[in-house]
Chains A and B, each alone.
Chain A
């Protein structure tokens, strides 16, 4: 456990209203801009299908079919056969959805008529053009068909699909994810190192970056590099303001680390729903054009991916140089090591912590922009989804050590993507979290951490 970083006596309480108002302002600061510009914020689409309504005597067998480009595959015909000689057909409508009401529960077979597919579209896993589905009265039963632009494509969730080309491809995706993760995780690690706080709102800083880039690049039509830079500056500013308005006053009040952690959880909830309030629940895309791909050494990634990886490496190297070569960087590491000793040797601990919050928020914002570009979009839970991966990366590397955070991020990124080779996609995050638990069992201080840190 770390000693309290402040030596000053507790200052009088700031009025409750003040912190509350600032928090709200902060939560809404990034988003309010878009409201001025975006006439129609994207809203979540309702799940109801026009042609079928579920009630006590009806079940809906339904699904949604889109082309490989993501357009509705309207006109595709499906034949449903089931108990009691039931036979019916459904056609995909203009929104890409189809539904068929049935009045008897049981097992149904849904067959897709491959002749009705749009030109140039083929069924993925074409040897199975039928799906079995269990319909229960009073409920929806979903059926999934996936289309592809190449004939004979498979989703590869079968063991037979294992080959070295896929390993290479997944490895590259893993390194890409790891590098982007590292940008955000280093900030998380620096915050932990200097203040002892596990910040649960760090994921929302990532989301904020992606959504701001959406506002600038998509809504305002700015050049993507300009938009990214503006986003990083604004995100860094939110970090600065946060430390000024929330974290520094709370440190002075002498709140325990657990209390501070719960404050970050509250902030994270408020921000998540503020994002939904302004942007809706749907995924928004920073760049609307279909990304072009480049194949290097047999590995195909989008242009954005290569650029994002390059930018990450440059920024990570710069951060590393800053921490090791500059006076302020060394002071930061000194504070991480022992805040009381650092303060005694004349380092302004509060100034360093302010800097750390600013840099951490800026790096998280940059990570969010590039995740949005690489993953083809960003929504209110983008950051939420990778927050635990960040914790896993930071813990794996050793809490509070920045180089550990980089190594941990790369390992976690690669593990997440390689899991896809052997297990269905649902498990990829679960594996990373399981590894986190195992590390805490056997080496809680992580790879680069020292045992005394775990207390």
Chain B
């Protein structure tokens, strides 16, 4: 019984971690691209990376945190514009290949040795060099707080302050997405997803709407990147292709084209993986499966889950099959 309780505590802790919130934000951004507009963006991790770089480099060079956040988001806007101009007129799978390549270019340039002075090369930027400015904003007193069974430092690396901010942003963006999806603008996006030519025949500038969606989702991605690196560090290799695919898995698991799908998907993605890891680590002898292998096994299941999801339930847990288009 104690085992079950401690396991549940670990799972809920993982579900509410700041990294989970960052993933949820990234998936919300991707949901704007894919769920609402039908853009197959396979480079979402690069939006996180440029946002994180913009934020961390601005802070380490001495700018105030507000400006740093704006620069991080601006990096997302610029990346979306650069990406959008050549790709938004192409067919879906071309868009996928171009976005994935652009994301790899960002990662490779970020980790290259000649930029070591700026981006820290493949070592990245350590969290301690930019985290203090964020901690200084905290209105919370120092010390620890326990709510239910969650005990964290108020202002620690992964404490209450970052959790409150991260999940507050998730909630805020859920509301914004809810309102936007019911607005005329959101309806045009859904129209583009369903039938681009029909929307064009109504006199709408499809390219412009797609670009707006790409920029908006990308900015949310950059915000996710800032949240993602606050409790850890900026590591270009941690925000590579795999991260993009995991964000996709989270989105498709929860349900694309829904408001809460990305959040539910991110929470499930992290807690179910932890569950698999823990159970495999505790009950399968190390001679058959070591702890490291248990972790890899959980990722194998992620891959298989992604395959099964897209085949058998492409609308995810919360989605509506009619709302989803995989038209290529």
Contact = CB atoms under 8 A, between A and B. Distances in A.
Looking at B241, B307, B326, the one whose CB has the most chain A CB atoms below 10 A away is B307
B92 to A, nearest CB: 6
Nearest to A429: B108
A269 B242 contact: yes
B199 to A, nearest CB: 18
Given A269-B299, A269-B303, A434-B105, A262 B310 contact: yes
Given A269-B299, A395-B97, A258 B104 contact: no
A270 B296 contact: no
B327 A444 contact: no
Contacts of B94: 440, 444, 454
Contacts, number: 165
A263 B310 contact: yes
A266 B98 CA distance: 19
A430 B104 contact: yes
A437 B99 CA distance: 9
Nearest to B306: A266
Contacts of B40: 258
Interface in B82-128: 86-87, 90-94, 96-98, 100-102, 104-105, 108-109, 111-114, 123, 126, 128
Interface in A228-286: 250, 253, 255-259, 261-263, 265-274, 276-277
Contacts of A433: 101-102, 104-105
A43 interface: yes
B97 A273 contact: no
Interface string B277-314: 00000000000000011001101111111111111101
B97 to A, nearest CB: 5
Interface stretch (A117-125, A135-143, A315-323, A367-375): A135-143
Contacts of B309: 266
B314 A274 contact: no
B252 interface: yes
A23 B304 contact: yes
B300 A440 contact: no
A289 interface: no
Contacts of B111: 426
B207 interface: no
Looking at A138, A276, A395, A454, the one whose CB has the most chain B CB atoms below 10 A away is A276
Contacts of B104: 388, 429-430, 433
Contact of B310 (A23, A136, A259, A273): A259
A7 B150 CA distance: 57
Interface string B126-167: 101100000000000000000000000000000000000000
Given A388-B104, A430-B109, A436 B129 contact: no
Contacts of A430: 104-105, 108-109
Interface string B233-248: 0000000011001001
A262 B248 contact: yes
B328 interface: yes
A440 B87 contact: yes
Given A257-B328, A391-B97, A436-B98, A23 B307 contact: yes
A415 interface: no
Contacts of A272: 299, 303
A297 interface: no
Nearest to B42: A265
Contact of A424 (B112, B297, B304): B112
Contacts of B113: 424, 426
Nearest to B114: A424
A136 B296 contact: no
Nearest to A44: B292
A261 B96 contact: yes
B98 A440 contact: yes
A436 B299 CA distance: 30
26 contacts: A19-B308, A20-B307, A24-B300, A24-B304, A142-B123, A256-B327, A268-B303, A269-B245, A269-B300, A269-B302, A271-B303, A272-B303, A388-B97, A388-B100, A395-B97, A424-B112, A426-B108, A426-B112, A426-B113, A436-B97, A436-B98, A437-B102, A440-B97, A441-B86, A444-B90, A454-B94
Interface of A: 1, 13, 16, 19-20, 23-24, 27, 43-44, 136-140, 142, 198, 250, 253, 255-259, 261-263, 265-274, 276-277, 384, 388, 391-392, 395, 424, 426-427, 429-430, 433-434, 436-437, 440-441, 444, 454-455
Given A27-B303, A259-B314, 18 more contacts: A13-B312, A16-B311, A24-B300, A24-B304, A27-B304, A198-B93, A255-B311, A256-B328, A262-B310, A263-B311, A266-B305, A267-B303, A272-B303, A273-B300, A430-B105, A430-B109, A433-B105, A444-B90
Interface of B: 40, 86-87, 90-94, 96-98, 100-102, 104-105, 108-109, 111-114, 123, 126, 128-129, 241-242, 245, 248-249, 252, 292-293, 296-297, 299-312, 314, 326-328
